[in-house]
Amino acid sequence: MGILTRFKDIMSSNINALLDKAENPEKMIDQCLRNLNSDLGKVKSETAAIMAEEQRAKRVLDECNEQIEEMQKYAIKALEANNEADARKFLEKKASLASKQPGLQEAYDLAKTNATHMREMHDKLVADINELESRKDMIKGKLAVAKTQERINKMGSSVVSANNSISSFEKYEEMADKALDKANAMAELNRSSKDQTIEDLTKKYTTDMSVDDELEALKASLSSEKNQGN
């Protein structure tokens, strides 16, 4: 039965393993569900056919067993009626049926085994689908959170890079401020040196002239007082 061999793979399938191999787990979940539901439809159809075969094989076996019992009963009745020829015919028919009975029993046992396996596969597949359906939203939610975390991590890296750039910018700005302060200080020193020299010279001559004027004025005042005293 090719169908049995094929669906043994379904029974041994591991949904988590399928998801681990997926490049896009979210799409894989939906695809896995579609595949499983498609397989479930085939399994149901095949299971029904194999269960029908089991029932048919059982019915044929039961009919054979019933006919064997009937031939036995008729043979007894024929002997009771002193009709040995009829009894022989019934026993011959019984023997013919009995020769078929092992083959019919074997066919029924196989059909029953196949039906049991198919029902197990069907139940396993239904359980897998129900499990995945119940976990689908949870898994997709986790994937969404993971994607958000990845974006946050990328933004965090960008922020770190921006902070490094800002730090570098501030360092260069500080260097520019120092250079400007130094240039201003130098300019101030240059201006101070030049202005101080001129100022000192101006004060020198201005002070000397004032003292001379004051000295002459004082002499004149003393001379005037002496003249008045005489």
Q: What is the pLDDT of residues 29-38, one digit of tens each?
A: 777 778 878 8
Domains in the chain (CATH in brackets) are 2-170 (1.10.287.2610)
Q: Round to whole Å and give the CA distance between 45 and 53.
A: 13
Q: Specify the amino acid at residue 121.
A: M
Q: Round to whole Å and give the CA distance between 25 and 162.
A: 33
User: Rounded to 10 degrees, what is the CA torsion of 31, 35, 41, 44?
Assistant: -130
- Tokens at residue 73, please? 């009963």
Q: What is the pTM of this model?
A: 0.48
Q: Round to whole Å and give the CA distance between 73 and 112.
A: 30
Please determine, for residue 162, whether its predicted confidence score (pLDDT) is greater than 50.
yes
Q: What is the largest CA-CA distance in the chain?
A: 210
**What percent of the chain shows pLDDT beyond 70?**
67
Side-chain-side CA neighbours of 148 within 13 Å: the count stands at 6
